[in-house]
Amino acid sequence: MKRIMRPLRETTPPWSSWYLTMPKLAVSLLVILLVVLLWLLQNNEKEEQRATLIADVLWLEQSIHFHVLSNVEQLQQLSLDLAKDETPEKLFDTRARHLIRTNSELAQIAWLDNDGVMRAALPNHISPRQEVTNTRDTREELAELARKLGKPVFSRTFTSLKDSFFELYVPVYNGNRLAGILVATHSLAGQINQIVPWWFTEKYQLQIIDDDGRILASKSKLNPGRSTISHQVALDPPGYGVSMLVTVNRASSSAVQSLIMTLIILLAVAVFWSLWAMRGLMRRRLAAEQALRTEHAFRKAMEDSLTIGMRARDREGRITYVNPAFCEMTGFVPADLIGALPPYPYWNPDDQERTQQLHNKVLDGQAPREGFELRFRRKNGEHFDALVYEAPLIDADGQHTGWMGSVLDITERKQAEELARQQEEKLQITSRLVTMGEMASTLAHELNQPLSAISSYNTGCINKLDSGNYSANELRGAMEKLGVQAQRAGKIIRRVHDFVRKSEPKLAECDLAEIVDDAIGFIEHFAQKRLVRIERQIPGWRQPLLADQVMIEQVLLNLMRNAIEAMNDKPPQDRLLSIQLIQHERQIEVRVIDRGSGIAAEIQERLFTPFFSTKPDGMGMGLNICRSIIEFHKGRLWVENNPAGGTIFVFTLPLLAP
């Protein structure tokens, strides 16, 4: 690729880009101006067409309005004449026939008496309303409204199988007395067929719609196609949301505009074809520049979206780049950091010597691969913990130009770890307290023996003193035995106190056999109540280890108690708990072996998971705490199946180096 592009850069004249760009700009500007001019002409024509449409729609709306009002006036006059004429039925027949003959939209004219009974109707006695059942108002309701108002009332539109209608209710008065109601049923289709002229339907499509958008009637000679020019006005009367929607059938276009558009297209095609012939001169360079810009934009967007701070330095330690995440992390703007040499503004003055040493190691190429932690200071004076990884910067020619560092704010993580540690300590204390609660009877049993012995020795001494027959050696022996029992009781109490009190881990040199004996002493009564025999296998000579005696004792108690409970379903003769100590070269291995029912493989995988327990009332934290304690001592805890039946819990502890 380099061999192809170098000759291209050498032979390409510097003015070639302008030579190719200027004609494009000129032609593009010309095409844009012509398109804008054509768009303005078309837009002006559409506005004129819309203005004409609005004028025609308003004219038609007024025509329909006047026509309906004319029908209202004729029916009102008929109502007045019916009240005065001696033969109103004959007058109604004559005048109704004339109205229907001259107004084709009138589907029926009916005369109702005060009780709503039809006295006469033309052309028949069956109203179109009777063909539908989903009307919103009834004829009785509308007639009652016309009686109350004393003036004509229009009904809502209703639709039958053939047409859509609305009714006009005109009250008939004989003096001041109501003599009936005239009901004129108007057909919407007949109305627009009679009133809308032929030229209107050639230009527009007319639709009568209700408030739900349903088409009640329509009239047009042509399909409007894809035209979007329309206008809608309300029809009142009849009202009730009925409106007239008029849409232009087709957008007229002139031959001049078509010719202009054709010439524009031909001109653009000709010019761009000529430019296309020259595109080979610049195609590869433009493609390379575009690829470079795309790559730069992609990398810039990726760097800006990172939540990890990025900082680049040259080989002298001068900062050459920082991303927004690093600026947000430190509180400084790029102008404060770029070009800066050590000590940087975000260095912690209290830890500047160590920070400078790590900085020098990075510049010497000795940066730790696993990263290193530093404490930085923000611009506002706040401190935060950061985890820093450094990697060399290599340019396109393979030269080492500096170092790129990624900085991760781990303040919250360290706070969370500290909180988790504190919570784990509290759980350990809780676990020890639960253990002590379960072993209350054991402690009572152990304390009862030395206290009873103390009481017996004390009573014997008093009896000897009262009898006067005693020797100093006899009293000394009794008092020595009394002191031994008191020390034994005190030791038990101190052991319980050390076990349950809250304290930091204290690593000290200790003998694991003594820890095992103390743990067995704690749980021995608990095992006796469940008929479990405890067997200890401890080598004669043991190398000391560095551990917290109370914590290791807690682990042993938890494992032994679990082992004892696991053998509840076994016969008494098979209930054996073995504690084995096996010393290796650098560590000692402790094995807690039971003869219970064992643990399934799928449960063994989750056994040390927090809050997982096989006991109905278990908290699921005992084994997790045990593993944490052993790992704190740099050991390991795991579980195995006992070949003789049951389970073996094994943990290791490192021995104290000689």
Q: Are residues 121 and 206 in the same domain?
A: yes
Predicted TM-score of the model (pTM) = 0.36
End of a domain among 393, 409, 425?
409
Mean pLDDT of 149-161: 82
Kindly tell me if the per-residue pLDDT of 583 is higher than 60. yes
3-state DSSP helix/strand/coil % of the chain, to nearest 5: 50, 20, 25
Within a domain: 273:
yes
Q: Are residues 148 and 54 in the same domain?
A: yes
CA distance 114 to 131: 23
What local confidence, expressed as pLDDT, does residue 132 receive?
A: 63
Structural domain boundaries, residue 361:
306-409
CA distance 531 to 309: 64
More confident of the two residues 500 and 61: 61
Task: Note the pLDDT tens digit of each residue in 608-638.
Answer: 776 556 665 544 446 777 888 888 888 999 9
Q: Are residues 389 and 492 in the same domain?
A: no
What local confidence, expressed as pLDDT, does residue 593 receive?
A: 92
What local confidence, expressed as pLDDT, does residue 279 receive?
A: 66
Which segment of 11-15, 290-294, 316-320, 451-455 scores lowest on mean pLDDT?
A: 11-15
Mean pLDDT of 548-577: 86
Token pair for residue 569?
């379903």
Mean pLDDT of 166-192: 82
To which residue do tokens 């196609």 refer? Answer: 225
What local confidence, expressed as pLDDT, does residue 177 receive?
A: 76
pLDDT classification of 456: cutoffs 50, 70, 90: low
Q: Are residues 399 and 460 in the same domain?
A: no
Torsion of CA 29, 34, 38, 40, to 10 degrees: 50
- Strand-pairing partners, residue 385, are 375
Mean pLDDT of 373-377: 84
More confident of the two residues 305 and 401: 401
pLDDT classification of 358: cutoffs 50, 70, 90: confident
Specify whether the CB–CB gap between 323 and 310 falls below 8 A: yes
Mean pLDDT of 37-41: 77
Q: Are residues 373 and 488 in the same domain?
A: no
- Strand-pairing partners, residue 246, are 206, 231
Identify the CA nearest to 426 among candidates 628, 126, 285. 628
pLDDT classification of 543: cutoffs 50, 70, 90: confident
Angle in degrees, CA 430, 504, 513, rounded to 5 = 85
CA distance 192 to 235: 12
What local confidence, expressed as pLDDT, does residue 447 receive?
A: 61
What local confidence, expressed as pLDDT, does residue 650 receive?
A: 93
What local confidence, expressed as pLDDT, does residue 589 receive?
A: 92
Mean pLDDT of 576-592: 90
Evaluate the omega torsion of the peptide bond into residue 238 and state whether it is cis, within 30 degrees of 0: yes
The number of angstroms, rounded, from the C-alpha of 569 to the middle of its chain's C-alpha atoms is: 50
Q: Are residues 104 and 177 in the same domain?
A: yes
Specify whether the CB–CB gap between 388 and 371 falls below 8 A: yes
Task: Note the pLDDT tens digit of each residue in 71-113.
Answer: 888 888 888 888 777 778 888 888 888 888 888 888 888 888 8
pLDDT classification of 590: cutoffs 50, 70, 90: very high
SS3 of residue 577 by DSSP: strand
Within a domain: 300:
no
Q: Are residues 570 and 426 in the same domain?
A: no
Mean pLDDT of 316-338: 85
pLDDT classification of 122: cutoffs 50, 70, 90: confident
Provide the CATH number for the domain around residue 538.
Answer: 3.30.565.10
Q: Are residues 403 and 414 in the same domain?
A: no
Q: Is the dihedral of CA 626, 632, 638, 642 positive or negative?
A: negative
Q: Are residues 616 and 517 in the same domain?
A: yes
CA distance 73 to 624: 97
What local confidence, expressed as pLDDT, does residue 441 receive?
A: 47
Within a domain: 295:
no
Mean pLDDT of 528-547: 85
Q: Are residues 454 and 473 in the same domain?
A: yes
What are the residues whose beta carbons fall under 8 Å from the beta carbon of 527, sequence distance 6 or more? 533, 534, 560, 564, 577
What local confidence, expressed as pLDDT, does residue 130 receive?
A: 67
End of a domain among 503, 522, 537?
503
Task: Note the pLDDT tens digit of each residue in 222-241.
Answer: 665 555 688 888 888 888 88
Q: What is the mean pLDDT of the chain?
A: 77
pLDDT classification of 577: cutoffs 50, 70, 90: very high
Q: Are residues 154 and 74 in the same domain?
A: yes
Q: What percent of the chain has pLDDT over 70?
A: 79
CA distance 293 to 370: 34
Q: Are residues 382 and 243 in the same domain?
A: no
pLDDT classification of 579: cutoffs 50, 70, 90: very high
Within a domain: 293:
no
Token pair for residue 39?
């768009």
DSSP per residue, 56-89? HHHHHHHHHHHHHHHHHHHHHHHHHHHHH-S-HH
DSSP per residue, 173-234? EETTEEEEEEEEEEEHHHHHHHHS-HHHHHHEEEEEE-TT--EEEEE-SS--TT---EEEEE
Task: Note the pLDDT tens digit of each residue in 239-265.
Answer: 888 888 888 876 545 566 677 777 777
Check residue 249 and report its DSSP letter.
S
Kindly tell me if the per-residue pLDDT of 8 is higher than 50. no
Task: State the total domains in the chain.
Answer: 5
What local confidence, expressed as pLDDT, does residue 3 receive?
A: 37
Within a domain: 187:
yes
